[in-house]
Structure 1
């Protein structure tokens, strides 16, 4: 049984245990790894992520026949025992936040759909996933987009992928309390297999960028975990907004390096460093896309090294163990590929884009790092997959 089949079986079994009947349909949405363009999405710039072959799967079906109220029921199969991982709420009453994070992802999606003018039918869902939680691979966006798609399918809303992304983002912003941009939800919704996604986070225009067949995308999970809503993520967004306001622009997307350097004497030093990361990171997106399409590993090595240094020094979202591991990996790869922190930071993962034959050097380097590490790192090679959609259960 392959990975997805096992996940479908778990979702089906969890649905049966929770509700005593078989689900009628399944949908899935993938996690993602961001290749370049970190902390750029909420600054309305360009980013280059790709969806990965780890996902959230939602099994769903109609409400109980004996139900007298229009109730939405949910069970999260990866989060606690069957009692603590269940939720239900009345669709005729205002949707209020629940007691924990996963409930708010579900309730937030339903509430966001209502705000967009959609009527949600009573239904039952069970969610299972294999995107590592807290690793910077966007398990939350996979969860939210999958739930939004399940509701759209069951309620006959026919939402296009871009709207699924908007709904899931609104849920995270307003119900979960994470001031994230829309990159994660968009890549979960609209990606193309074998490609990265060049996304304009202001207009949502996007283009599939081929990943050269000679390249491998490797994620190195540092083992360090963080919670975005409890970390300095929202603080970094506020600092970027303050820098944009001080510079008289709508968002940092509207700056380039020349204009930013001219403004440095009049800008708070901390805000200048935050803005410098965002501006230089945006300028790396196009050349990384070109290098990836061409398989130019030497260019990837240079650009990703610059990106990691900027995240560590100017944006201050790395940690000393992550910097040490990144340096070990960069030395091991040389010009065979690049490596940098990916995701919001404060823990999580590194991503390497390198020649396929160089992945062994990554394994060796991580083994050396793990000899002295408090939290051992793990290596996994991912495949670039398509976005959210229905799943044939077999």
Structure 2
């Protein structure tokens, strides 16, 4: 059972680092988003799935106030006194850990703790390693200090840690997928109301992630530009429409089409992508319920075209892989995932089509770019889980 394997992995990593057993071990999955590019921080709709790659965190309490965190993946140990920590607003991995601890218990820790982090989520591949880390740390801290937090509160506080402590302007999608994911299901998530519905997936569906291993310098600044442009669009539609617009999810496709000429470029294009993408997600969710994988796949291709042409966050390497997916007979859909300007492509295939697409990418990508891609085949997974010491064997 994968859960038992993960728990044992955490236990063994803790023993190697601290020469003793942990008191609890937690594991949280990564995620891919089938459709809903850049709609999450616009409080719209997304359709993620949790995948079978995880961050595992094992921990125990200390008798002093020090927090000692060892990353097995990075072979690095960091010691922190929480009472002296200030918000750093950078993306060092320790900031995610301390941000979660602060969000859960504040600066008045009953005691310090020792944590060991391990796992198999590739960093920077668009599989949400940061949210996975946050939830695994959060679940471990919750158990160590017997905090009375349900999963919804845990996900929300981990999101607060990333947005307010680390300073990343993200939506709630990643934390919710890592918390509420279910094996063989997708999550149809409303990022405004923070409600979700699970949708059963066909058993032979396979998720392919192609990491292009490129990251262009525009990524960080352009992401912030898109956030600002969408906010400007909200302000403009508030002036134009008779109802309140708190986010772009409050604007229908029909309303956009009626007033589009009143919005300056490039804000108009950014708004069009988000507004039409929200509708695509809703239609894709219905398609999955009907097991109409062809329609869902076509919507994924349309999503990529919109991200490329209207939101302008793609790049030649991503486009190339999506084009190959489009040309691979039997492959259902593909699109870029993550912030953009590099990163990964997700593709959906049945098990018998899996190898055909992998062969195309393996043969052609290096020839075209001089870069070796990383190709991951994933299945769906349950959300965060944790086990206390008495149950660890």
Please give the TM-score of this superposition, normalised by the length of structure 1: 0.90
Tell me the residue number matched to 1:273.
269
SS of the residue aligned with 1:380? strand
Q: Is the 8 A contact 1:41 1:47 kept in 2?
A: yes
SS of the residue aligned with 1:224? strand
Q: Residue 309 of structure 2 is aligned with which of 295, 308, 313?
A: 313
Q: Does the alignment pair 1:170 with 2:165? A: no
Q: Is the 8 A contact 2:87 2:166 kept in 1?
A: no
Alignment of 1:100-249 (within 5 A): 101-114=92-105, 121-225=111-215, 230-248=220-238, 249=245
Against the structure 1 CA distance between its residues 231 and 210, is the aligned structure 2 distance closer, same or farther, given a 3 Å change threshold? Answer: farther
Tell me the residue number matched to 2:337.
342
Structure-2 separation of matches of 1:378 and 1:19: 33
Q: Residue 352 of structure 2 is aligned with which of 357, 363, 367?
A: 357
Q: Is the 8 A contact 1:145 1:189 kept in 2?
A: yes
The CA deviation at 1:285 is 1.0
Q: Is the 8 A contact 1:134 1:226 kept in 2?
A: no
Q: Is the 8 A contact 2:135 2:178 kept in 1?
A: yes
Structure-1 separation of matches of 2:272 and 2:105: 39
Aligned length: 383
Against the structure 1 CA distance between its residues 145 and 224, is the aligned structure 2 distance closer, same or farther, given a 3 Å change threshold? Answer: same
The CA deviation at 1:5 is 6.8
SS of the residue aligned with 1:340? strand
Q: Is the 8 A contact 1:190 1:386 kept in 2?
A: yes
Q: Does the alignment pair 1:384 with 2:380? A: yes
The CA deviation at 1:187 is 0.5
| Deviations, residues 85-138 of structure 1 (Å, cap 9, x unaligned) | 2223334445553986111001111222246x9856421111112111111110
Q: Is the 8 A contact 2:72 2:116 kept in 1?
A: yes
The CA deviation at 1:14 is 4.0
Q: Is the 8 A contact 1:76 1:102 kept in 2?
A: no
Q: Residue 66 of structure 2 is aligned with which of 62, 67, 71?
A: 71
**Once superposed, what is the RMSD of the aligned Cα atoms?**
2.5
Structure-2 separation of matches of 1:159 and 1:338: 38
Structure-2 separation of matches of 1:227 and 1:172: 22
Against the structure 1 CA distance between its residues 284 and 121, is the aligned structure 2 distance closer, same or farther, given a 3 Å change threshold? Answer: farther
Structure-1 separation of matches of 2:141 and 2:384: 13
| Deviations, residues 54-110 of structure 1 (Å, cap 9, x unaligned) | 0100010121x5x3xx2222112222x4xxx22233344455539861110011112
Structure 2 stretches lacking a partner, 5+ long:
239-244
Q: Is the 8 A contact 1:220 1:380 kept in 2?
A: yes
| Deviations, residues 215-269 of structure 1 (Å, cap 9, x unaligned) | 2222222222479983522222121111111211210010111111222222111
Please give the TM-score of this superposition, normalised by the length of structure 2: 0.90
Against the structure 1 CA distance between its residues 221 and 99, is the aligned structure 2 distance closer, same or farther, given a 3 Å change threshold? Answer: closer
Q: Is the 8 A contact 1:34 1:50 kept in 2?
A: yes
Q: Is the 8 A contact 1:7 1:128 kept in 2?
A: no
Q: Does the alignment pair 1:259 with 2:255? A: yes
Structure-1 separation of matches of 2:172 and 2:219: 16
